[in-house]
Structure 1
């Protein structure tokens, strides 16, 4: 690992000013991804600003919204009574997203900012990675690819967004609060992540030095049924091959409102609005679930190793919808 300077921040403004003024500086919170990438030689910040003592921890209900401090750990959020009672899809995404050890270290802000698990991105000896080195190509398109994206992907990049939590929060229209040197702003999570396009190295709308301070999660109406289904190679700690976050409001067997997002298949957490349109007003039964699944995976970009994900994503969504609709 390269040498770096370590700085502990005492207040938010100080942390933001320090990182903003130094292009080679980065924030350090739980470090569960950051330190791995530094050890691998993918990231090489010259200064790490430790933000773990900043007042950005805790979960508080404010009317119809749950405000979560960015330094709240995954385990703390999963244990919150409101999450357990009103947000099953969020709790399930958290518990399925990492081992207990990692959940006790990883923060909510860091989870939303975690980098892709693409093997080519994480291996500096591979020269072709547009996400790590813009303009070099995408080794995954022509190489072995399985844990990669089929939605929002293209020849420039098929790296997968790995966060389970982000999928659930995208379905709920969560909002990220950000502090910069110039002030604060609030960003809907559905507009926070960037498709690779011509700039795969840019994964979100944050400018250098901007710091996530909190996340607002709107609470769905009482009686909403929700769940998160994760399909993976093994039941222990593993990333998703496909996943689905679903929230439904049913009225006499008819779907009055639907929220759907897919994970494990997109370059960003994938909000499936076309599927939602199909479901609204339809009976909560197999025909509507199948139609929603077909609508959710439009114009996929596949390579030989990822073609199976198209059908897997559809089946995952159908099963998630059926499970949530049948829940008592």
Structure 2
């Protein structure tokens, strides 16, 4: 770990002032940033502690929720409004990491965690454009079982590691951001980038910008939602494939649906093509499989991860079948 200075922000304005300095990183729970610093992947000159900022979960005027960026993952998963009105979010959080990490990790930090690609963490000789732009991507021809099948590029085939973010993508969340250029909001699906030729840039945040909150819309559909994570072991493993979904059936037809996939792309993947196939149709396993194949039409599996195509299909069929059955 390289030497750095530490500052604790007294508020959002103070955090933005401190964060505007070059080579500064914001510190939430530290469950990812500290690892990156220890491995010398992240080398900030200054770390700004923002854990003293908003840690509240508040009702909004339209019936949604406003979640402060410093809310701990455990607190969000256990909140009664989240468990009742957005069960997909509570289940996604509980599927991620260990209880100890969930107790430390913050919501804002979860949005900004970096890939768990082994080549990204291998600083002893592996080439990684995400870690060192222009060096190449050893994962593309290496062991790539956990890597992307959608939205990848020759520069990077890494996947986004978050479970929580997959649920936020399905729920049409909004990200609240502040910085020296002023405050702004961003649809959740626009926060993370596909790799293109700059995989080192995970998000569209400008230097020094700070995530202050995430808001969830009033979405009655979300009461009928769930999250399923398929992984190599039952405890503390990143998703090979995950599905966040919400489904409403009206008079025997799918009235509305939201789907997002994890473990398949550089960002949480909103399955808009699958949703389009499903809306207005009579639910069935055959229809769910058709929707999955529509979403996967542009998939490009690598040598070791072609199984993810069938795994996405089977998982999506199972999840949608469970949600449709709950309406029967």
TM-score by length of 1: 0.97
Secondary structure, in 3 states, of the residue corresponding to 1:187?
Answer: strand
Take 2:283 and 2:158, find their aligned partners in 1: how far apart are those partners? Answer: 34
Take 1:267 and 1:131, find their aligned partners in 2: how far apart are those partners? Answer: 11
Secondary structure, in 3 states, of the residue corresponding to 1:121?
Answer: helix
Instruction: Indicate the residue corresponding to 2:9 in structure 1.
Output: 9
Shift of 1:194: 0.8
2:230/2:239 contact within 8 Å kept: yes
2:221/2:246 contact within 8 Å kept: no
1:42/1:123 contact within 8 Å kept: no
Instruction: Indicate the residue corresponding to 2:162 in structure 1.
Output: 163
Instruction: Indicate the residue corresponding to 2:311 in structure 1.
Output: 312
Take 1:127 and 1:50, find their aligned partners in 2: how far apart are those partners? Answer: 31
1:84/1:91 contact within 8 Å kept: yes
Take 1:131 and 1:96, find their aligned partners in 2: how far apart are those partners? Answer: 26
User: Structure 1 stretch 223-232 or stretch 165-174: which is displaced more?
Assistant: 223-232
Change (3 A) 1:224 1:278: farther
Take 1:188 and 1:181, find their aligned partners in 2: how far apart are those partners? Answer: 20
Take 2:320 and 2:222, find their aligned partners in 1: how far apart are those partners? Answer: 16
Instruction: Indicate the residue corresponding to 1:201 in structure 2.
Output: 200
Alignment partner of 1:182 is 2:181? yes
Instruction: Indicate the residue corresponding to 1:283 in structure 2.
Output: 282
Gaps of 5+ in 1: none
Secondary structure, in 3 states, of the residue corresponding to 1:92?
Answer: helix
Aligned residues: 326
Gaps of 5+ in 2: none
Take 2:126 and 2:238, find their aligned partners in 1: how far apart are those partners? Answer: 25
Shift of 1:127: 4.2
Secondary structure, in 3 states, of the residue corresponding to 1:85?
Answer: helix
Alignment of 1:119-268 (within 5 A): 119-221=118-220, 224-268=223-267
Shift of 1:219: 2.9
TM-score by length of 2: 0.97
User: Structure 1 stretch 221-230 or stretch 177-186: which is displaced more?
Assistant: 221-230
Q: Which runs of 4+ in 1 moved over 2 A?
A: none
